[in-house]
Structures are given as C-alpha cells and as structure tokens.
C-alpha cells in the first residue's frame, strides 16, 4: 500500500481556492468493500454532483470537477479496511485520503475544501515505537497509524550473549543472582546503544514490553532520550505484530488523552491573555493568521454567516452560510499553525473550540 503524505496533502488543499467538492464517508473497516459502503459512496457522489450543479453556473468548470470527483471515487481503496475516506475534487485537483477516525457522512461544495476530518485524522496519527525487551532476543517495532513494522537494522532484533563466569571446571553451574544481574545489564546496554541509533534517525516515543525484572534492569542502564509512554509486563518475545499492537494500544490512547488535555488546560490558563475561545473569536484570529495552536473538539461544526465582519449562527441552507470551523481549521493550516483535536466535552466550558495566540 503506497505511503500518503497527509501533511503535504493537507497544506495543498488548504491553499487551494475555486469551486470544489469535499466528501467524507464512513466505512466498515472490518468488512472492506461491503455493499452498504458502496451504496453510501454512490449516494454521496450523486448528492455532491447535484449540489455542485446548483452551485456553479460555469458548465466547463463543473464538468471538470465532476470528472475529477468520479476519478476520486474510482480510486477509493476497497481492498483494505479503513474507518473512513475523504475525497476532494476541484478543477485541477483530485485527492483521496483514507482516514482512521470515526466520522459522519457529509458533502461540502464551495470555494474552499473542507478539512476538519482530515486534520483530525492527522492530529491523532499514532507515531510511536515498541521495544520488546528480552535477554534472549529484543525486538524493535515502529507503529505508524495502525501499521506495525518490525525493524531489521541497527542490530535489531538483538541477540547478545553476555559473558558469564571464567572458564573453570564448574562454568556450567547456574548463574548466581549477582551474575544474572550483570548479564542482564550487559545485554540491555547493547539494546540501549542500538535504540539510540534508531531514535537519532527517527525520534518516537516508546512503549516497553517485557518481564517486570527486565524492565527494572532497563531503567538502571538506559540513557536513551526516547520518551517512555507506557509499559506492558509479560513475555512477548515471540508474539505476532497484531498482538503486540493490541497490547500497546491502551498506552497510545492514554498518551493521546494526556497531551490533548494538556493542550486544553494550556488554552484555558491563557484566556485572560494569550488565548481566545468560542467560534467567533477563534475564527477571527485564525483568519488573521494569529493562531499558534488551535484546540478543537472532534466532530464540531458551526454553520454561520458574516454580519459586520462577525460570524453569527445561520441555517446550513441559508444564503452565504459556511462552516466556520472548517474555515478556522483551513486558515490555521494555511498559516502553519498547530491543530490539536480533543474528545467531546473536553472544551465544554470554552465553546468547544479555543486557540492559543502567537501574539
């Protein structure tokens, strides 16, 4: 499966303008290519064409967008399970991006692409490393999104034979506790040296898996700068990648929530000076390029329209109405700002959206 540079695609779409169609469709990731998903995709495609034809009077432009939209729907990966897919079509743009977040189906037609779901997916991407510690063989596994890839470089998997007692007639005796500790430290120092090389080339937080005693030895000898975000006790030396990912996912989720709550607290603490909240103020700051970090609840949308340069509520089908959240997200990306997406109710006291300002 080809690697998609989601960050680059997001920046490209944020900078584009002109008549465009954005479609987001949930999928059953446990049953890829099922008939229900096919039906929903078809219905969303047809609805998008109807809305586009009502939106634009330029027949040539409309035909090009419909052609690109059909190309996007035709390019949806039906053979692999994803939770959703986002499709984007303009007069000269066709993009299809699989998503791993839960979404509601929607179609947006306008002069800009709708990027809220794509940005949410980017913000919640798993980018971590798992170190399966064992004195017999230590494994190193990179996890990107839902895909696990075992490393076979920098010495991994590491199988090091520690020096034991000197050559004597009794060298085959069982190691005493002190010798066992020294052997364990010797092996784990070799692991630490290899992990440093990997981390230097591709920094990621790590989850440690292994016997409790081995994890204790690791704490004694490791000097790696990698942040440890979780520990899983047990022997997983021979476990498959899918089992390993299942075991470490709670650590990933805990770390995600920790960072998101920290971002929300930071915005709240700076509200008196250095931050704003609520869609009206956040939208205005985003349009001015003042946003350092946008913090938003997943799935939040706000239909509005401009009145005296202020965003006010409006019905979704009202003339000149637009999704102010999509607009704020797009401007934040366009100006190179950070976006953090939090769970529902985390920003309940701040209008579901807040922004730490650059100035």
pLDDT digits (tens), the chain, 359 positions? 457 899 999 999 999 999 999 999 999 999 999 999 999 999 999 999 999 999 999 999 999 999 999 999 999 999 888 999 999 999 999 999 999 999 999 999 999 999 999 999 999 999 999 999 999 999 999 999 889 999 999 999 999 987 765 544 445 545 566 787 888 999 999 999 999 999 999 999 999 999 999 999 999 999 999 999 999 999 999 999 999 999 999 999 999 999 999 999 999 999 989 999 999 999 999 999 999 999 999 999 999 999 988 999 999 888 889 999 999 999 999 999 999 999 999 999 999 999 999 99
Q: What is the dihedral of CA 17, 20, 22, 23, to 10 degrees?
A: -170
DSSP summary character for residue 158: B
Half-sphere exposure of 327 (CA within 13 A, CB side): 22
CB neighbours (10 Å) of residue 338?
Answer: 14
Name the CATH architecture for the domain at 1-124.
Answer: 2-Layer Sandwich (3.30)
pTM beyond 0.75: the answer is: yes
Superfamily of structural domain 270-359 = Ribosomal protein L30/S12 (3.30.1330.30)
**Token duo for residue 328:** 């704020």
Cis peptide bond N-terminal to 157, omega within 30: yes
Distance in Å from the first CA to the final CA of the chain: 42
Structural domain 127-257, CATH architecture: 2-Layer Sandwich (3.30)
Q: How far is CA 315 from the centre of its chain?
A: 31
Strands 94-99, 84-90: pairing is antiparallel
| Pairing of β 353-357 and β 84-90 | unpaired
Q: What are phi and psi of 18, to 5 degrees?
A: 110, 170
Indicate the SS3 state at residue 51.
helix
Locate tokens 């219905």: which residue?
43
In the chain, where are the structural domains located?
Answer: 1-124, 127-257, 270-359
**How many separate helices (H) and strands (E) can be counted in the chain?**
9, 16
Q: Which of 291, 294, 318, 295 is nearest to 307 (CA)?
A: 318
One DSSP character per residue, 294-356 reads EEEETT---EEEEETTEEEE--TTSTT-EEHHHHHHHHHHHTT-EEEEE-TTTTGGGTTEEEE
Q: In which order are the strands placed within the sheet that holds 303-307? A: 310-313, 303-307, 322-323
Question: What's the pLDDT score for residue 165?
Answer: 57
- Please give the structure tokens belonging to residue 33: 């290519």
Residue closest to 32 by CA, chosen among 99, 79, 102: 79
């Amino acid at each position: 499966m080809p690697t998609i540079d989601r960050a680059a695609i997001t920046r490209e779409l944020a900078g584009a303008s002109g008549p465009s169609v954005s479609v987001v469709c949930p999928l059953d990731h446990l049953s890829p290519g099922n008939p229900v998903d096919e039906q929903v995709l078809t219905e969303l495609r047809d609805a998008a064409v109807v809305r586009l034809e009502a939106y634009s009077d330029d027949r040539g432009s409309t035909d090009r967008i419909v052609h690109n939209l059909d190309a996007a729907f035709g390019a949806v990966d039906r053979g692999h399970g994803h939770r959703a897919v986002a499709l984007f079509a303009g007069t000269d743009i066709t993009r299809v991006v699989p998503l791993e977040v839960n979404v509601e189906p929607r179609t947006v037609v306008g002069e800009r692409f709708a990027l809220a779901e794509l940005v949410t997916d980017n913000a919640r991407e798993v980018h971590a490393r798992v170190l399966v510690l064992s004195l017999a063989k230590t494994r190193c596994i990179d996890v990107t999104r839902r895909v696990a890839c075992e490393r076979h470089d920098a010495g991994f998997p590491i199988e090091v034979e520690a020096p034991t007692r000197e050559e004597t007639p009794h060298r085959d005796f069982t190691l005493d506790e002190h010798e066992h500790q020294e052997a364990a430290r010797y092996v784990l120092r070799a692991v630490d040296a290899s992990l440093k090389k990997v981390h230097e080339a591709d920094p990621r937080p790590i989850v440690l898996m292994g016997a409790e005693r081995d994890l204790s030895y690791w704490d004694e000898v490791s000097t790696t700068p990698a942040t440890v975000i979780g520990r899983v006790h047990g022997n997983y030396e021979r476990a498959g990648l899918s089992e390993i990912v299942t075991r470490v996912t709670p650590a990933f989720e805990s770390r995600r929530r920790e960072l998101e709550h920290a971002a929300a607290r930071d915005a709240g603490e700076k509200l008196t000076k250095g931050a704003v909240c609520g869609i009206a103020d956040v939208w205005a700051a985003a349009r001015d390029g003042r946003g350092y970090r946008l913090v938003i609840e997943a799935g939040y949308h706000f239909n509005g329209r401009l009145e005296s340069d202020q965003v006010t509520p409006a019905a979704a089908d009202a003339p000149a109405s637009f999704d102010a959240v999509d607009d704020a997200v797009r401007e934040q990306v366009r100006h190179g700002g950070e976006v953090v997406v939090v769970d529902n109710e985390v920003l309940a006291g701040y209008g579901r959206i807040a922004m730490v300002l650059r100035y």
